[in-house]
Structure 1
Amino acid sequence: MPGRRRQADRGAVSPLGGSRRLAPRGYFLQEEAPEGAAKVFSFSLGSERLRRETTNQGESIVTLAQAAFGHRSFTAQALLVLSGSAALGLLSQVEVPMVPVPMSLQTLGVTLIGLTFGARLAALTVLAYLAQGAAGLPVFSGGDAGAHHLIGPTAGFLWGFVAMAWATGWLAERGMDRGVLRLFAASAIPAALLYVPGVAWLTLFVGLDLPTAVAAGAVPFLLGDAIKCAIAAITVSGGWKALAAKRG
């Protein structure tokens, strides 16, 4: 049975009295100081200040994947979707012994994808994962595959992964992907909301009464989900720090 579960303003006034503009990749802020002064480069990763980019549609916040790999080309986004769905498929096969039930890393993968990819790309990645499993690739928990899982007992959780990834990415795009505590909150809130479609499916389509559905589909996984949220928060926080150190 399968398991459950992102340019600065051109010509803006700089603190040095000159103007500022983005370097070509869009993530380094270049200060154009008055004539005779040295140019100063600053990188905001590792700080609590958000890097915002001005686009034709408005402001967007750079996510970890965008900062590391860029996000403008279709090819880059397609590669992220493919690599993310493959990683999710691999994590879905890992189970860690725990009480009362073994802890699958499936929802850890969904959370990490949301925190690093942002809402839209994360949701597309999980949809790609579900499509791969439905097409027969053994990517669901325990190496399961087949379209029947998308209407089976755990279908509420599987489809809920899409909403979970989108919600996690939405929070990340709004600054919740900086700092361990905020990252934990951005992980835990969508993880908790995942129980809603999961338990609802068990009651409405499987026929379990609500107490039984909660006891079977939620309670055994609470501790494991909390641990996975902590792991995701520490991992993404470390990723931001490593990227900041690499780029100086």
Structure 2
Amino acid sequence: MTNAANGAVRTVLADRIRSRGIATDAALVAGGALFTAAMAQLEVPMWPVPITGQTLAVVLAGATLGAGRGTLAMLVYMVAGLAGAPFFADMTGGLHALTIPSFGYVIGFVPAAAVVGWLARRDWDRRFVRAALAFTLASAIPFVTGIPYLAVVLAQLGAPHDIGTVLGFGLWPFVVGGIAKALIAAGVLPLAWKALGRRR
């Protein structure tokens, strides 16, 4: 795919750092999954949904790797965690994660990485304002799956699960932090592009 303005091949940051290849792509996907697992351990314990660094990891991985590899990285993260790797918050893993109220957000990481990677391939990660918009949008996507999942699990636990309670547990506490993480990512990625440009 080419950029209509200058004929250059559209790239994301990972494409500029290393040449493409199956081994390189596999390493980048694994790195994205491990980075997300590490950021999951930056946790403010809350019930039923903790505050973690995962969303920041998702937008950074998606933008850096692109839609394809970013999506695969989140799928690897999720599947490895369900298989028992201690990838989720508080170093947990295993199929019992499916019964945890916050697991719906993990499902949402997959489309979030795809969207931000698609936008990054179109240069939305190279200027602060557009990057902030892209990352804020991507940060909102996990709520689309996370909030309904939370409601279902709370109902199964016999806990209150009306819309006000669910939003109080699963949305409002995360708005300010989500915006802050999107702004952090929007500051980091343009700086990385500038640094790469100076090196070249």
TM-score bracket for the superposition, by shorter chain length: 0.7 to 0.9
Specify the code of the residue in structure 1 equivalent to 2:18.
F
Identify the match of residue 19 of structure 2 among 35, 49, 70.
Answer: 70
- Alpha-carbon distance in 1 for matches of 2:133, 2:191: 16
* AA at the equivalent of 2:101: P
Q: Deviations over 1:161-182 (max 9, x none)?
A: 1111111111111221110111
Deviations 1:87-131 (A, max 9, x none): 11111111369xxx9742111101100111111110100111112
Structure 2 residue ranges without an equivalent (≥5): 156-160
Give a deviation string over 1:192-244, Cα, whole Å, max 9, x none.
12211111112244321211111100100111111110111111111101111
**CA distance in structure 1 between the partners assigned to 2:57 and 2:6 by the alignment:** 24
Distance 2:171 2:197 in 1: 38
Give the root-mean-square deviation of aligned CA atoms. 2.3
Deviation (angstroms), 1:151: 4.3
Match of 1:225 among 178, 186, 193: 178
CA gap 1:157/1:225 in 2 versus in 1, 3 angstroms: same
Give 1:150 shift: 3.0
Partner of 1:42: none
1:194 alignment partner, SS class: helix
If each structure's strand is expressed as a fraction of its own residues, which one has the higher value? 1
**Given that residues 91 and 109 in structure 1 are in contact (C-alpha distance below 8 angstroms), is that contact kept between their aligned partners in structure 2?**
yes
Q: Is the 8 A contact 1:114 1:166 kept in 2?
A: yes
Higher helix proportion (structure 1 or 2): 2
Q: Which has the larger radius of gyration?
A: 1
Q: Structure 1: how far apart are the matches of 2:77 and 2:6?
A: 30
Shift of 1:67: 1.1
Instruction: Tell me what 1:12 maps to.
Output: none
Answer whether contact 1:51 1:62 (CA < 8 A) is retained. no
Q: Which runs of 4+ in 1 moved over 6 A?
A: 6-9
1:8/1:203 Cα in 2 relative to 1: closer, same or farther (>3 Å)? closer
Distance in 2, matches of 1:222 and 1:159, equals 19
- Alignment partner, residue 85 of structure 2: 137
Structure 2 vs 1, CA of residues 206 and 134 (structure 1 numbering), >3 Å: closer, same or farther? same
What does residue 54 of structure 2 align with?
A: 106
Written as runs of structure 1 = structure 2, the 5 A alignment for 1:1-248 is 52-53=8-9, 61-71=10-20, 73-95=21-43, 103-207=51-155, 208-247=161-200
| Paired positions, count | 192
Q: Residues 102 and 136 (structure 1 numbering): CA distance in 2 closer, same or farther, change over 3 Å?
A: closer
Instruction: Name the CA distance, whole Å, in 1 between partners of 2:182 and 2:92.
Output: 25
Q: In the TM superposition, what whole-angstrom CA distance separates every residue of 1:33-77 from its partner, at most 9, and x where no partner exists?
A: xxxxxxxxxxxxxxxx77732xxxxxxx20011111122x11110
* Alpha-carbon distance, 1:191 to partner: 1.0
Q: Give the TM-score of the pair, scaled to structure 2.
A: 0.87
Give 1:105's aligned amino acid.
G
> Percent of aligned positions with the same letter in both sequences?
34
